[in-house]
Structure 1
C-alpha cells in the first residue's frame, strides 16, 4: 500500500522544489519506505506502507536496468498466480516479484489494455520513456483514489489531494458544481460526478478508467466493467451452485489474506461479514495465524428504540458467530467517549472534503486505530455483500412470479416464506401486487428539507443533472434486479466507497479489503439464476445454504431481524447539543455559508428537532441536514 505522487513537465525541466513540496505533504501518513525518481522532465515518488510478503523487495519508483519504464503504484493484486502463468514468469522469480513489477510486465505484454487483466485494488502511473507517455489506471471497483492537476504541458498526480494543493499556482477555489451535487443529494452518496472534486483545479481518474498524457493531451477512457458480458450459469442442481459459490468466494477471501502482518476483519451480526470471517479463519489457522475481529456495539446506556425487526445492538448474533467459528481474537468496541460531532475536524482533515458518513465516523476510525495497534495489515469487511453474495429479494422475486403467472411456485414460496417470517399470505399479497404492477416512472418526493441554497441550485443546474439518477430525490423506482446492476455499474457509488477507504487506510497503515466486491465474485453472483437466491421461502437463499457449517443457524437462517447501524448517534451527541445549536446559529449568520447553504432550512430544521432532540430521530432528514450543514460549514471556515 502506498501513496504515490508525480509531476510531468513536457517542455521544461521538472521543478524538484515543487516535487519536494508534494512529498513533504505526504509525511503526515506513516510509511515504511519513501523513495523518489526523476529525470529532466518527470518526477515520481512513492510513500510506501509495507504489508505484503514481497513488500520489502519493492523499490518503486525506479527504472529497471535495460528498461524504459518507471512505475509508481498503490496496488495489491489478487490474481497473481493467473498473471504469473499468462506472463510466463519463471517460478524462481515469483516469490519476490512485487505487484508493481507484475503491472510493468503486464504493460509490456498488453500495453494500454493491461488494466483489464488485473484483479485487485490499485491505482498506478507509469512513465513510458520510449513513447514519452504517462499511463495510469484505477481498478474496476475504484478501491484506490488517483487525483490530478492538468495544465498545458504539465501534469501532476497523487493518491490524495493536499500534495497537489501544495503545488505553486494550485488554489483552493471551490468547484461549485461538485458542492451543489453534494448538497442536493440527501442520501449518503457524495456526488454523481466522478471526474471532479471539491476543488476546481483538481480532477480525479474515475474507477475502471485508464488515462494517458502524451504531447500535452490528457485522454481518459473506461477500460472495463464489473457487470458487462456476464454469461448465465447453468448447473444441474442447487448443491452445485452452492459448491461453485464456495469455491469462488473462498478464492476471493484467501487472496486477500496475503500479508506479512496480522489479518483482521470488521464483524457485524449479519451474513456478509460473518461469511467473510468464517471463510478467512480456517486458512489463517493453517498458517498459524489468528484472525483479529472487531465489532462496534452501542454504549451500555443506549436504549434501543428501533422496531423489533431491527437490531441496533447485534451483540447476540456476533457472539454466536465468534463462538461458532472459534479461534478468533475478538474485540467488542463501544467507543463510549466518542461521538460524531467531536470527529468533524479530524475527519475533514482526513477526507480533504466534506463527508456524509458521520453516524459511523468515530467507529470506522476507532476500529482501524485498534487494528493498527495490533499490527494488522489487512482488514477484511463485507461492505458490498448485500448486492453480491447475500442478494436475494424475496418480494421482488415473488412479484416477478406474479407477473409471469407462475401461480403454483408463488403459492408454495409464499407459504414457506410466511412460516419463516411469521406473516400470513393475506398480508403479503397486496404488497407483492403493488410491486408487480407498479408504475416504474419515478415520482419526486415531497417534503424533503434541502440543504442547498436555491441560488446555487439555479446557477449550477444541479437538479437537471440529477434527473434519472437514484439519489433519494424520487420514490423508489428501481426494482431490486435493476438496483443490483446499478450498484456495481454506477461509478459514483464505487468512487464514494473507495475514497473513504483509501484515506482511512493511509492514516492507519491498514488496508481495508472487501471480498464481496471481488470482480470474480460479483460476476459469478450476477451469472447465477434468480431461483437460487430466493428458494424454499428464504430470501438471500444462496449464501444461507452455502454457509451451512460455516455460520451458526441463528445467523444463517435469521430472516426476522436486520442489524441497523448509527441508531445511537443522537444519543451520543446530546451532551454537546447546545454547542452544536450555537454553531448552527453562527452558520446562519455567516456570509461564507449563507450564499451556499439554505440557512432558512437550517433554522427550520433546528427548531423542528427540538432541544434536546429525541434519540429516536437519528434517521430523521432534519437531523441529517443539521449535521451535514455543520460539516460543510467547518470545511468552508477552514479556507476552502
Structure 2
C-alpha cells in the first residue's frame, strides 16, 4: 500500500525538508508511483504513492484546503465513495480520489465522520486555525499509523521506523511489548516495540494539540445488543453472500490481473470463487491469477486438488510454488524481519515467492482470506443457542461430534459446552470479572510460581523474573472488551475477530506485500461482515458437525459443489517442524547459542536448548518456539 509521514512543529519553526525526506526514505518501497511533499512553514507532509486503481482514484498526495488552512494525507481504499461524495456535495464522484472524498466526509460530518468511512485507511488531518492534528485508522486494522508527541513537535508515519529516522528520536526497547510477543504473540493494538512511539489503535481517532496530552476516542465499535432473527438459515447465508460479494467487488477496483493466495480451504476459495464469478458476469471486472503452495514431499499438506476445482471452474491460472523450496529459516533473506517489530510468519518464504511472481505478472493487488477463519470458523460452539431455538436433535448431534472430535467423555462435553456457557450467560459481567480476580489472587498466593493471564502462554524457557518485570495485565484487552457481550458464544466470536494475533498478522502481511509494490485485500476483513457475523446466532455460523457452515452455504450457486464439500483446513505445520529438525536445524541451534534474548534477560538459554534437543530426539512434543526464534532474528539484526 501507500504510506504517509509528517512533521508538525508547535514552536513555529519550519519543518526541515531533509528530515522529512529521511523519514520517507525509510519506507521508500511504498512510493513506486512517486513521493509527494508539501511544506508550509511548521508543517511538512509526505505521501508515498502506490496506486493500484485503473483510473487514478487511489492516488496518494497531500491535500490542502487553503481557505480553511487544512492539510490532509491519507493511505486509503474507500468503499462508500457514493455516500462520501453526497456528503461533500461532489457531483464528479468518478474523478475524485478516495482521499478527496474522505476529507469531504470528515469536514461534513465532524466527529461522526471517521465512523462513516468504510474501507481500509489511515489518515492525518492538520487543522491550522485550531492548531490540532487528528490521526485515525480503519476499524479492522488493515492500515497502520504511528506517532510521537514531543514538547515542540509531533511526528507521524505509516511505519515506526520512519519516526526513528527523525532527529533526536531515541531508540529504546519496550520490554512490555517483548513480553506480549513471548506470550503467544498476542501483542495488543497500541503496544509498540519502541518506547516513546505510540500506535493509533484500529477504529480510533487521536487528537493532538500543543501543550496537551493526546486524546484518543473510539469512533466505531460493534453493537453488543444487535441481533438478527431470520426465518431460516438460508436467509443468513444469502445475507452473507451479499456482503461477501460487495466486499470482493469493492476491492476489485484495481488494474487487471488481480492476484490471490489460493489454498484449498474455505476462506480463500470463497474469495476466488466470488471474484471469478463476478469476472464471468462483467468483463470490466479484473481477471484473477492464483499463487498456490503445492506439497510433493508432504502429501498430507497438499491441497492442489481443491485448488484446481475452484481455479479450473473459473478459468483462473495457477502459479504453483513448491513448498519444498520455501522451508522456514533456510534462506536468510527470505526470513528477514521488518524493523518495526519481530512479528514474522514462519511461512514468510512462501509469501515472498508468491508476491515476487505476482509482481512480475503485473499484479497490483493480492487477495487473501486472512480473517475468514475467525469470522466463520474458530470452533465457536453454541449448543445453548440451539436448545433455545428448539433444535434439540441438532444440539444432541453437536454434543456427540464434539465428544468424538475432542475425545471427551459425555459428562465432560456437557460440562464444557452446555453447563459452563449457560452459567456464564446467567452471571452478569461484573460477577464474572470478580470471580476471575479471586481465582488469580489465589494463584498468586500459591507457594510456587504460577503464571496467570497472558503470561501463562509464555514457554517454560521464558524467565519468570522478566515476565514479572514487564508487568503484563491479568487479562488481555480484547477479553476485557468482550465482557460487553451478554452471551458466551458472541463473546468468543468477538475475541476471535479482534484477536491481537490476527490483527498483527494482517499488518505484517501488508508490510511484506508493500515491499513488493503490491497492495493487499482481505474481503473477510470488512467491518460490515464483522457486524453481521456478531449479530447472527452463532450456531448458524460454525458447528463441529459442519465446519464453517454459514460460509459454505453462502457459496451455493457460486462455488462448485464439489469444492464446497472438499474444502478443509490443512495445516502446513509439518514443513515448519521438518525445518526445525532437518534443513534449518543448524540455524536454529545457532539462534539459541549466545542468544541476544538471553543476554537481555528474556529467556533461559540452557532451558531452551535442552527442551529443543528433547524435541529433536522425539522425547518431547513440539512447543511454541517460533516467537523466540523470530525475536532472536530481529534482535540480532536491529539491536546488535
Q: 1:43 to 1:451 in 2, by over 3 A?
A: farther
Q: 1:544 to 1:69 in 2, by over 3 A?
A: same
Counterpart of 1:114? 113
Counterpart of 2:533? 525
Preserved contact between residue 334 and residue 352 of structure 2 (Cα < 8 Å):
no
Q: 1:281 to 1:413 in 2, by over 3 A?
A: same
Counterpart of 2:316? 328
Counterpart of 1:257? 252
CA distance in 1 between counterparts of 2:575 and 2:526 reads 32
Structure 1, gaps ≥5 residues long: 305-311, 472-477
Counterpart of 2:520? 512
Q: 1:163 to 1:341 in 2, by over 3 A?
A: same
Preserved contact between residue 227 and residue 489 of structure 1 (Cα < 8 Å):
no
SS at match of 1:638: helix
Q: Select between 515-524 and 449-458 the one with higher mean Cα deviation.
A: 449-458
Counterpart of 1:373? 360
Counterpart of 2:305? 316
CA distance in 1 between counterparts of 2:273 and 2:209 reads 48
Q: Does 1:363 find its partner at 2:363?
A: no
Deviations 1:276-306 (A, max 9, x none): 11111122232254211122233x22364xx
Q: 1:165 to 1:468 in 2, by over 3 A?
A: closer
Return the offset for 1:451. Answer: 4.1
Counterpart of 2:261? 266
Q: Does 1:384 find its partner at 2:371?
A: yes
CA distance in 1 between counterparts of 2:529 and 2:302 reads 29
Counterpart of 2:5? 5
Q: Does 1:571 find its partner at 2:578?
A: yes
CA distance in 1 between counterparts of 2:18 and 2:199 reads 24
Preserved contact between residue 339 and residue 634 of structure 2 (Cα < 8 Å):
no
Q: 1:34 to 1:536 in 2, by over 3 A?
A: closer
Preserved contact between residue 120 and residue 143 of structure 2 (Cα < 8 Å):
yes
CA distance in 1 between counterparts of 2:559 and 2:569 reads 16
Preserved contact between residue 206 and residue 216 of structure 2 (Cα < 8 Å):
yes
Return the offset for 1:313. Answer: 1.8
- Give the one of 392, 397, 402 matched to 1:410: 392
| Matched positions, count | 601
Q: 1:53 to 1:635 in 2, by over 3 A?
A: same
Return the offset for 1:134. Answer: 1.4
- Give the one of 542, 548, 559 matched to 2:550: 542
Q: Does 1:354 find its partner at 2:342?
A: yes
Q: Does 1:486 find its partner at 2:495?
A: yes
Q: 1:175 to 1:61 in 2, by over 3 A?
A: same
Preserved contact between residue 25 and residue 166 of structure 1 (Cα < 8 Å):
yes
Deviations 1:201-254 (A, max 9, x none): 222111111112222334242333452256322333433333222222211111
Q: 1:122 to 1:536 in 2, by over 3 A?
A: closer
SS at match of 1:353: coil
TM-score by length of 2: 0.85
CA distance in 2 between counterparts of 1:181 and 1:424 reads 29
CA distance in 1 between counterparts of 2:20 and 2:38 reads 10
TM-align CA RMSD: 3.4
Return the offset for 1:392. Answer: 7.4
Deviations 1:395-416 (A, max 9, x none): x3335546x6x8x733355459
Q: Select between 546-555 and 108-117 the one with higher mean Cα deviation.
A: 546-555
Deviations 1:10-40 (A, max 9, x none): 1122222211221232334451121100111
Preserved contact between residue 487 and residue 493 of structure 1 (Cα < 8 Å):
no
SS at match of 2:244: helix
CA distance in 2 between counterparts of 1:401 and 1:236 reads 14
Counterpart of 2:61? 60
Counterpart of 1:245? 240
SS at match of 1:63: strand
Return the offset for 1:327. Answer: 1.5
CA distance in 1 between counterparts of 2:565 and 2:86 reads 41
SS at match of 1:55: coil
Return the offset for 1:318. Answer: 1.7
Q: 1:542 to 1:5 in 2, by over 3 A?
A: same
Counterpart of 2:196? 201
Counterpart of 1:474? none
Preserved contact between residue 188 and residue 357 of structure 1 (Cα < 8 Å):
no
Q: 1:316 to 1:420 in 2, by over 3 A?
A: farther
Q: Does 1:397 find its partner at 2:382?
A: yes
Counterpart of 2:413? 431
CA distance in 2 between counterparts of 1:335 and 1:327 reads 24
Preserved contact between residue 302 and residue 571 of structure 1 (Cα < 8 Å):
no
Q: 1:326 to 1:582 in 2, by over 3 A?
A: same
Q: 1:350 to 1:27 in 2, by over 3 A?
A: same
CA distance in 2 between counterparts of 1:450 and 1:466 reads 20
Preserved contact between residue 29 and residue 517 of structure 2 (Cα < 8 Å):
no
Preserved contact between residue 165 and residue 172 of structure 1 (Cα < 8 Å):
yes
Preserved contact between residue 77 and residue 98 of structure 2 (Cα < 8 Å):
yes
Deviations 1:400-456 (A, max 9, x none): 546x6x8x7333554599799998999777524442224877787989633433332
SS at match of 2:202: coil
CA distance in 2 between counterparts of 1:219 and 1:151 reads 11
CA distance in 2 between counterparts of 1:499 and 1:365 reads 15
Q: 1:427 to 1:322 in 2, by over 3 A?
A: farther
Preserved contact between residue 398 and residue 543 of structure 2 (Cα < 8 Å):
no
TM-score by length of 1: 0.85
SS at match of 2:108: helix
Q: 1:426 to 1:459 in 2, by over 3 A?
A: closer
Return the offset for 1:539. Answer: 4.4
Counterpart of 2:181? 182
